[in-house]
Amino acid sequence: MTASTTAAPQAPAPRQRRLQTEIPGPLSRELQQRRTGAVAAGVSSVLPVYVTSASGGLLTDADGNVLIDFGSGIAVTNVGHSAPAVVDRVRKQACWFTHTCFMVTPYEGYVEVCEALAELTPGDHAKKSVLFNSGAEAVENAVKIARVATGRQAVVVFDHAYHGRTNLTMGMTAKSVPYKHGFGPFAPEIYRVPGSYPFRDGLSGPEAAALAIDRVEKQIGGDQVAAVVLEPIQGEGGFIEPARGFLPAIAAWCRENGVVYVADEVQTGFCRTGSWFASTDEDVVPDLIATAKGIAGGLPLSAVTGRAELLDAVPPGGLGGTYGGNPIACAAALGSIETMKTEDLAASAKRIEGVVLPRLRALADETGVIGDVRGRGAMLAAEFVHAGTSEPDADLTKRVAAACHRAGVVVLTCGTYGNVVRLLPPLSLADDLLDEGLSVLEHAVRTEARA
C-alpha cells in the first residue's frame, strides 16, 4: 500500500492533536523520497508531512498523525480547510462547469465576487474589481492600472516588503535570498524607501513617514510617482506593524500628490487582523487594494479592487488572463465570504489576539529571548533576539519552530533576519486547540532558550 491510498476520506474528522509516529513519519518520508526524484528542488516545504485531510484547524498526515495548524497555508484557510459553505458551492459549480474563460463567455459568479469586494473593502466611493489567480498577479496589475491612470512610471515600495515572486513583484520585494537571488535583471522604476519598524527604528509613525516622503521627494519627485505600494502589516518581512500614524501620513501624501495608494492586503485581508481589511484600523481608504490568500478558502483567486475611475482607465482587453476569476474559485470565494459573515470571523480573530498576545508577552518577560511581540487579530508574531540585546537570533527561531513541528504544531517563521515566529491560525480554530498549540510553543521556547 502506498501512502497516497491510506487516506480514508469518510473517516470521522479528528478533534485533537495526535502523534502516532515521529514527525515526519515513515510514509511521509517515503513520499519525500519520491518527491526528490520528481519535484524541483527550488520549491521547498516547511514541514514535509504529507497531508491526507484537514479540518477544524487540524491536519492529518499520511502516517495518521494529527497536527495543529498555526499557519493556515500562509494565511489562506481563514475559514478553515474545508468550510461547508466553500465545499458545497465548489462541488455544485464543478458539476455545472469548470471554466469558460470570463474573457470569452462570462458567468455570474465573477460579477458577484466583484460586487462583494465593492461592499467589503474600505471606503464608500464607487468601486470596481478585476480578478486574477495569485497575489503577485494582483499586485502587478495594480501597478499596471496605476501607471495607465496616472501616466507616470515610478513605483515606491518599502524596506522589508514582500509582494511576490513574478518579475515585477520580485523587484518590489525587499529580501534577496531566497526570493530574488540570481533571478535578475528586475524591472526598472521601482524605488525602495524606509518604512516603519517600531522595534528597530524607534520612530513614531509620522516621523517614519516624514523620512520616507523626504526620500521620495528628493530622489524621485512626487510628480513622477504612479503608486506607493505597501502592506498595512508587513507579512513575510517579519509581521511588522507600522507605528500608528504612518499609514495615514503616507496616504495623505499620496492624495496631495496625485499618487495612487495601493494597499497590498494579500496577507492581511479577509478578517485576518480582526477587521475585513487592516487598512480600516486606521481609517485609511486605499485607492487600490490587492487581495488574494484568504479570499477563497484555499482556491486560487486574487483581485484588484478600487476607485472605479482608476479601474476603468485601462481600455478593454488591457487586463485579464485565461483563468482569472475561474468559476470554481469564485464559488469558493462566495462561500468563504458567507462563512466570514455568518460566523463573524473578524470577532474570532480578535478573540485569538486576546488569548495569544498576553501569553506571548508573558513568555517574553519570562525567557528574555523575545524582543518584541506584535500583530493584530490572528496575525501575531514573536521576534527572537539574543537575550538582553536587539540582535536577531535566527538560529533560536529555527530551533523553536523545529521543536513545535516535532510536537505536531505547524508554525511558520518569517522576517528579513529570519528571527520571527508567526502565528496564523484558521480564524475558526477551537479554543482548546489554540491553548494546546500555544502550550507547545511555550514549552519549545523555554527548552530551546536554555539549550
Ligand X SMILES: *Cc1c(COP(=O)(O)O)cnc(C)c1O
* DSSP 8-state class, residue 83: -
| Position closest to ligand X via CB | 135
Question: How far apart are CB 253 and ligand X at their closest, in Å?
Answer: 21
Question: How far apart are CB 52 and ligand X at their closest, in Å?
Answer: 24
Determine contact, residues 163/169, Cβ cutoff 8 Å. yes
Look-up of cell digits 503577485: 136
Closer residue to ligand X, CB minimum distance, 162 or 197: 162
Closer residue to ligand X, CB minimum distance, 423 or 449: 423
Question: How far apart are CB 262 and ligand X at their closest, in Å?
Answer: 11
Question: How far apart are CB 269 and ligand X at their closest, in Å?
Answer: 9
Closer residue to ligand X, CB minimum distance, 381 or 445: 381
| Strand runs labelled E in 285-442 | 288-291, 302-307, 370-376, 379-384, 409-410, 412-414, 420-423
451 three-class SS = coil
Question: How far apart are CB 420 and ligand X at their closest, in Å?
Answer: 14
Closer residue to ligand X, CB minimum distance, 135 or 415: 135
Residue 150 phi, psi dihedral angles, 5° rounding: -100, -20
Question: How far apart are CB 231 and ligand X at their closest, in Å?
Answer: 5
Closer residue to ligand X, CB minimum distance, 165 or 341: 165
Question: How far apart are CB 363 and ligand X at their closest, in Å?
Answer: 26
Residue 208 grid cell: 517614519
Closer residue to ligand X, CB minimum distance, 137 or 393: 137
Closer residue to ligand X, CB minimum distance, 47 or 136: 136
Closer residue to ligand X, CB minimum distance, 231 or 287: 231
Residue 188 grid cell: 526598472
Q: What angle do CA 311, 346, 107 make, to 5 degrees?
A: 40
**Residue 220: other Cβ atoms inside 10 A:** 16
Question: How far apart are CB 150 and ligand X at their closest, in Å?
Answer: 22
Give the contacts of 214 (CB within 8 A, at least 6 positions apart). Answer: none
Question: How far apart are CB 302 and ligand X at their closest, in Å?
Answer: 6
Determine contact, residues 129/305, Cβ cutoff 8 Å. yes
Give the separation between CA 117 and CA 429, rounded to whole angstroms.
25
Residues forming the site for ligand X (CB under 6 A)? 134-136, 139, 162-164, 231, 235-236, 264, 266-267, 292-293
Closer residue to ligand X, CB minimum distance, 135 or 297: 135
Contacts 24+ apart (CB under 8 A), 321-324: 321/132, 321/133, 321/137, 322/101, 322/103, 323/99, 323/101, 323/133, 324/102, 324/103, 324/130, 324/131, 324/132, 324/133, 324/137
Give the separation between CA 104 and CA 363, rounded to whole angstroms.
56
Closer residue to ligand X, CB minimum distance, 197 or 363: 197
> CA Rg, the chain, in Å?
22
Instruction: Kindly tell me the burial class for residue 51, based on how many C-beta atoms sit within 10 Å of its own C-beta (0-12, 13-18, 19 or more).
Output: middle
Question: How far apart are CB 180 and ligand X at their closest, in Å?
Answer: 14
Give the separation between CA 208 and CA 212, rounded to whole angstroms.
6
Q: For the chain, what's the residue count?
A: 451
